[in-house]
Structure 1
Amino acid sequence: MRLRKAARVILVGAPGVGKGTQAERLLARFPQLSTISSGDLLRHNVKNRTPLGIKVEHTMKTGGLVSDALILRLITNELGHRGWLSGAQENVMAFSSPAVGEAVASEGSGVPGIDYAMSSPDINPNAGAHLSAQASDDPSASFLLDGFPRTAAQARSLDDVVPINWAVSIKTPLDVIIRRISSRWVHEPSGRIYNTTFNAPRAPGVDDVTGEPLVRRADDEEDIYRARFRKFEETSEPLLEHYARKGVLWEVDGMSSDEISPKLFREFERRFM
């Protein structure tokens, strides 16, 4: 089955709720859906030593924050580069131009510790209202946005560029998540994640691929996680209210990813297929 219109999706949920698993399953089940990750975009630019990447790398190394405006500019650029914002070429400027240098130099508070920059042209987000009106509704312009927005202010800024038309709030009881993360082990060099209850390594305590030792993340400790959960609730409530007012919020709950996925698939199909 083909999509009948563009799906512009975000997943919202507490750390450890399984957003990554659900994103992978959505992408596998619906091939027309692609992913746009703010973190991947940042890493691409840092790796390729673009002018913006060099600036962001310096900000990160000195403990600064990558601003919301910069993340939004990079996402806008990616959408325009893919041809998903008609008329976008009217607002192009090169990353190496003085205008961009000045904009980046002025970056202040924002999203912490993400590494990003880009070699392709950048679309001026100040033209957001114009771009939003011309965001492509073609099914090929469907994406799952990862890492942004995380706050209501970010969501409002994103609305001016391309409106999200499905915001999914994934909910699992706190005690279930805590039990889940207490069994989680990580291979730090690769980021591979194991769980002794449902995705155990072949040999206890070591990575399947390299044989190197697995570790527990410090922020998976229960007291640290509870603090992260409270912070998530504080920032996510206004974000979810924003999308509820726009009529695009959908909530799903379950005790496991396997329970949530079928519900997610059915609703996606109802809305977009």
Structure 2
Amino acid sequence: MAWNPDVYNQFKTERSAPFYDLLTLLKARSGLEVIDLGCGTGELTAKIAEKLPNSNVLGVDSSAEMLGKSVQAGGSTLRFECIPIEEKLKKDQQWDVVFSNAALQWVPDHENLFLTIVSRVRPGGQLLVQMPDQPHNITNRLLAELAEKSPYADAYQGWNRASNVLSIDRYAEILFECGCKSMQVFEKVYPLILNDIDALVTWVSGTALLPYLERLPEPLKKAFLDDYKDLLGEHFPKKPVFYAFKRILMEATF
């Protein structure tokens, strides 16, 4: 899936807000080994490095387009690697801090994924994760519903992007079952106030809409966008558009 960092960053402030909430849960220490899973452009990974002086911070992402915006200075303790999250987690390496902001929702099988992630946290280490609560966000649900309708269902040939995200209760249970010493798991609404439906479509086009459009032939892409816009208009008839975007944040020490 090809990411467009320019489209993604059109809502840079709104997309960054949950990161800074997660960053406040990160314990400030020095001399750590840190990994940021799904670092995107790396701009926010640099903020992690600032909070953890003299630490080796590695940002990983599968998108060469996003990492093309990162800055990797020679001799710096901040580095980046182009590799899928799943592949990086296969490597038998542990970290003092495992951080992931708005990325794990793209990775399947969270039951096993989180077991693997926790196994990569050193004793005394910290896990911090933020991701959209996809099953409870209407923009995601409408995309899935539209993909099941004609003529798109035939083009997708049975494909649909089922949400990988579990309930906050289940994440808390997994952390407990993995023996965490303390945890915080909660949902927070990040309100989006947008001028109109077009602005909301632009917001979605930076993330959730991408896999749906890339699987459609060109003649159907505009029709899909138009139909999606109509569905959004039915749910958000007022201007400005107020969208209560829900996200899950979690922090645990081991």
When normalised by structure 1's length, the TM-score is: 0.32
When normalised by structure 2's length, the TM-score is: 0.34
